[in-house]
């Protein structure tokens, strides 16, 4: 088992989770407007949705790998290409962080959990992202690919939950800091670009 690969994966997930995106911005706005509990309910829903995507990737990709190693290589090339595409999309974005969210209303905790879950599960980009990311971080020759995918998925969910949960708990301070330091959005933008490119190179090499 290569622990260094797992550590590298965890750092990559942390950098990506902390970079501005629709999910963490939604959590931030929810916490600022309605409090920590509603925001944490959304986070729990989002992470539960990640478990569904992990299961789909673990069982589906594992079967493909067992049957065809060439296809696994193709998946890795696809993954690197997709991550480079994401880096390009981030590069073309403005890097500014917007706090406005239209039609945002306080809802019961259960409904917020369900909303976060549905937001994640019905987003095909999450499965694409997992498909691009996970095959390049297999870390053990004595474990099945299915188990390794679930371990990577568990790490992804754990690290993302810590980051998103921290955003929910520290929303007021984060908003004040970002408003006082407009360039923070630009820094996070380039951090995301570097991480995407770095992961792509790691997968290929």
- Quick: pLDDT tens for 186-201: 887 888 788 889 888 8
pLDDT, residue 22, reads 78
Percentage of the chain with pLDDT > 70? 94
Burial of 184 (0-12, 13-18, 19+ CB in 10 A): middle
Q: Which two tokens stand for residue 131?
A: 């498909």
pLDDT of 48 above 90:
yes
Indicate the average pLDDT of the chain: 85
Q: Which of 15, 22, 12 is nearest to 115 (CA)?
A: 22
Task: Please state the pTM of the whole predicted model.
Answer: 0.83
Q: Which of 9, 116, 129 is nearest to 57 (CA)?
A: 129
Instruction: Please report how many Cα atoms fall inside a 13 Å half-sphere around the Cα of residue 162, on the Cβ side.
Output: 11
pLDDT, residue 75, reads 79
Which residues fall within 8 angstroms of residue 181, CB to CB, at 6 or more apart? Answer: none
Q: Where are the domains of the chain?
A: 3-95+111-204
The answer to whether the beta carbons of residues 39 and 163 sit under 8 Å apart is: no
pLDDT, residue 152, reads 95
Largest CA distance in the chain: 54
pLDDT of 6 above 70:
yes
Distances (CA, A) of 116 to 4, 22, 40, 80, 123: 32, 11, 10, 28, 11
pLDDT, residue 66, reads 66
pLDDT, residue 192, reads 79
Q: What is the per-residue pLDDT across 163-185, written as a single tens digit (0 to 9) for each? A: 999 999 998 787 777 777 777 77
Distances (CA, A) of 193 to 83, 110, 166: 9, 35, 22
Q: Tell me, rounded to whole angstroms, the distance of Cα 179 from its chain centroid.
A: 24
Average of per-residue pLDDT across 130-157: 92
Q: Which two tokens stand for residue 33?
A: 């407007």
Q: What is the per-residue pLDDT across 63-94, written as a single tens digit (0 to 9) for each? A: 777 677 787 788 788 888 888 998 898 888 77
- The string of DSSP codes covering 31-97 is HHHH-HHHHHHHHHHHHHHHHHHHHHHHHHHHHHHHH-HHHHHHHHHHHHHHHHHHHHHHHHS----
């Amino acid at each position: 088992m290569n622990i260094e690969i797992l550590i590298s994966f965890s750092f990559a997930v942390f950098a990506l989770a902390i970079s501005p995106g629709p999910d963490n911005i939604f959590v931030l706005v929810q916490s600022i407007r309605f409090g920590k509990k509603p925001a944490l309910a959304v986070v729990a829903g989002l992470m539960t949705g990640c478990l569904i995507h992990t299961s789909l990737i673990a069982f589906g990709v594992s079967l493909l790998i067992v049957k065809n190693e060439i296809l696994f290589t193709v998946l890795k090339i696809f993954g690197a290409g997709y991550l480079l595409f994401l880096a390009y999309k981030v590069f073309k974005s403005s890097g500014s962080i917007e706090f406005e969210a239209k039609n945002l209303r306080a809802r019961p905790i259960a409904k917020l959990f369900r909303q976060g879950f549905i937001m994640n599960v019905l987003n095909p980009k999450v499965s694409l992202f997992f498909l691009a990311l996970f095959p390049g971080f297999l870390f053990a020759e004595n474990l099945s690919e299915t188990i390794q995918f679930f371990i990577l998925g568990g790490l992804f969910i754990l690290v993302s939950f810590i980051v998103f949960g921290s955003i929910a708990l520290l929303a007021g301070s984060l908003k004040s800091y970002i408003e006082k330091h407009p360039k923070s959005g630009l820094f996070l933008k380039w951090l995301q670009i570097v991480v995407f490119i770095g992961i792509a190179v790691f997968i290929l090499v």
